[in-house]
Amino acid sequence: MPDLDAVFASLADPTRRAILARLAIGEATVLDIAKPFSMTQPAISRHLKVLEGSGLIVRRVEGAKHPCRLAPDGLATIEPWLDMLRAALTKNYDRLDGVLAAMTPNLGKDPT
């Protein structure tokens, strides 16, 4: 399993996110992926290596072509951590909710 550092760092780059968005449509070879970018092929190759290293994509070899597609491992790695953060934010929100309720006792209560 990839580590949190690697996955978040992968996602922090706009070129890599654009590559993932491209692969969200479907599988593509390295040159297919490189085409829309104003960047050299080696640069894209490096980005793909980073994405592969963080489990966000996988490649297979099909003759001379190496089609890439999205992989679940990268996202799976960060989901639990994001869940923790979401839970903490919700908890804090509930606490604020309590404070507001205490300040204005009738707000939010059933008006019947």
Please report, as ranges, the residues that interact with a copy of itself according to CB under 8 A: 4-5, 8-9, 11-14, 17, 20-21, 23-25, 69-70, 72, 75, 78, 81-82, 84-89, 92-93
User: 65 is in the binding site of which of a copy of itself, DNA, none (Cβ under 5 to 8 A by kind)?
Assistant: DNA
Which of a copy of itself, DNA, none does residue 42 bind to, with CB < 5 to 8 Å depending on kind? DNA
Taking CB under 7 A as the criterion, the residue among 3, 36, 49, 82 binding DNA is 49
Cα atoms in the Cβ-side hemisphere of radius 13 Å centred on 48: 23
Using rule CB under 7 A, residue 67 touches DNA = yes
Nearest by Cα to 11 from 72, 63, 54, 42: 54
CB of 35 to a copy of itself, least distance (A): 20
50 binds DNA (CB under 7 A): yes
**Is the distance from CB of 68 to CB of 23 less than 8 angstroms?**
yes
51 lines the binding site for DNA (CB under 7 A): no
A 10 A CB-CB count for 73 gives 14
Backbone torsions φ then ψ of 3, nearest 5 degrees: -100, 165
Residues 68-107 that bind DNA (CB under 7 A): none
Nearest to 46 by CA among 23, 75, 15: 15
